[in-house]
Amino acid sequence: MKIAVVGTGYVGLVLGACLAENGNDVTCVDKDEAKVRRLRRGLMPIYEPGLEEMVRRNRAEKRLEFTKDLPRSVRAARIVFIAVGTPQHEDGSADLTHVLAVAREIGQAIDGYKVIVDKSTVPVGTAARVRAVIERETNHSFSVVSNPEFLKQGAAVEDFLKPDRVVIGVEDEKAEELMRELYAPFTRTGAPIMIMDCASAELSKYAANAILATRISFMNEVANVAEAVGANIDHVRRAIGSDRRIGPSFLFPGIGFGGSCFPKDIKALIKFAGDNGYDFQTLKAVDRVNEAQKVRFVAKLESHFGSIKGKTIAVWGLAFKPRTDDMREAPAIALINHLLRAKAKVQAFDPQAGSVAAGIFGRKISLARKSYDALKGADALVVATEWNEFREPDFGRMRKLMKTPVVFDGRNIYSPAGMKAQGFTYYSVGR
């Protein structure tokens, strides 16, 4: 099938590459000229495991191309995906400027029946708005589909190729048939394609992110109670996670959630629920707890040192989670800003997000090229992201490099007893 994907970010690029991988003819459109130029030269704008090889392979097979030319790509396609960003407005609502601008351009370009698929995460009612915007521009017939994306950054290719389910909101049977055909190769293992109305599809995406964020904030609070009463959150987590009604995922406490989705999506859900007369109280608490969790962790450094002014703090991990270079809303940003405000010196390392961090902090922090380089002369190490390579370090080498052997583990990747035996003063979350 001929497909156009508008927006070549974390979602659009993965979507385009995976659709091409299954034999479709895909054109990825982006308004960012530099990005398109780099992609044409085979350079990835983001880090996502397995993506680069897939893009290279499908470009070589001429099933995947990159362009700025939206009208031509739309005219050539049967299905057009909108996968542009929906950032957060100041009032918490989702900013639909990019989505609606793309809808208008699509309306101006179409020359026959097309299926327009909203892949971006958008509030309930957006499919109807996209329809209205396109109708203002054209008399050609088209269908609007809401097809939210559930991939996880860091495992995006794998998730897209083997989804748990595919959610498709439709208004008519013709679009449903085309979408079923498009997704058939991805659901051969039995994953269901769930057909529903657009409003339900749109709400499903927000509800999914909201329940995951809720689990994290909930477990952060249980961990805080564990600290207060002398319990160990690892035991508690295993005890509750083995209950089949609860399950083991998303029960790990830490320094708060971040990323380009959870923080903005829960705020958007709170906002559009409120706009429709419903006060979403649980989610408001989830958001508050998340902010408090970041501050609570920094307070541990302050209470250890008395003052962190003039201290050298090493930070391992900057991306909001492992296996990505994405630092949008990463807890490490709040942490580092706090350390800088308190006049500490920050030496940081991340396996993939170094250049993103350089763009955010400039010369305010020093970025190490290797994990151990960040430890030189450090008064303490903070682990902010649980990259695998931090899990089994050479503790002897760490001790030698650091001025004092103090570790603040925001992701609970080390064992308290093991760290004590290695001679470290060790702080973690809920243990």
Minimum CB distance to ligand NAD smaller for 267 or for 338:
267
260 binds ligand NAD per the rule CB under 6 A = yes
163 binds ligand NAD per the rule CB under 6 A = no
7 binds ligand NAD per the rule CB under 6 A = yes
149 binds ligand NAD per the rule CB under 6 A = yes
153 binds ligand NAD per the rule CB under 6 A = yes
Minimum CB distance to ligand NAD smaller for 120 or for 412:
120
86 binds ligand NAD per the rule CB under 6 A = yes
Minimum CB distance to ligand NAD smaller for 83 or for 115:
83
146 binds ligand NAD per the rule CB under 6 A = no
98 binds ligand NAD per the rule CB under 6 A = yes
93 binds ligand NAD per the rule CB under 6 A = no
Residues 259, 154 contacting (CB under 8 angstroms): no
Minimum CB distance to ligand NAD smaller for 310 or for 359:
359
85 binds ligand NAD per the rule CB under 6 A = yes
Pick the piece of the chain touching ligand NAD (CB under 6 A) from 98-106, 337-345, 360-368, 391-399.
Answer: 98-106
Shortest reach from residue 327's CB to ligand NAD, in Å: 12
Q: How many residues touch ligand NAD (CB under 6 A)? A: 26
Pick the piece of the chain touching ligand NAD (CB under 6 A) from 25-33, 196-204, 310-318, 407-415.
Answer: 25-33
| Nearest residue to ligand NAD, scored by beta-carbon proximity | 9
Shortest reach from residue 415's CB to ligand NAD, in Å: 31
Minimum CB distance to ligand NAD smaller for 32 or for 135:
32
Query: In the window 108-137, what residues touch ligand NAD (CB under 6 A)?
Result: 120-121
Shortest reach from residue 84's CB to ligand NAD, in Å: 4
Distance of CA 152 to the CA centre of its chain: 6
Among 4, 5, 9, 266, binds ligand NAD (CB under 6 A): 9
What positions carry a catalytic annotation?
A: 261
Binding site for ligand NAD (CB under 6 A): 6-12, 29-32, 35, 83-86, 98, 101-102, 120-121, 149, 151, 153, 260-261
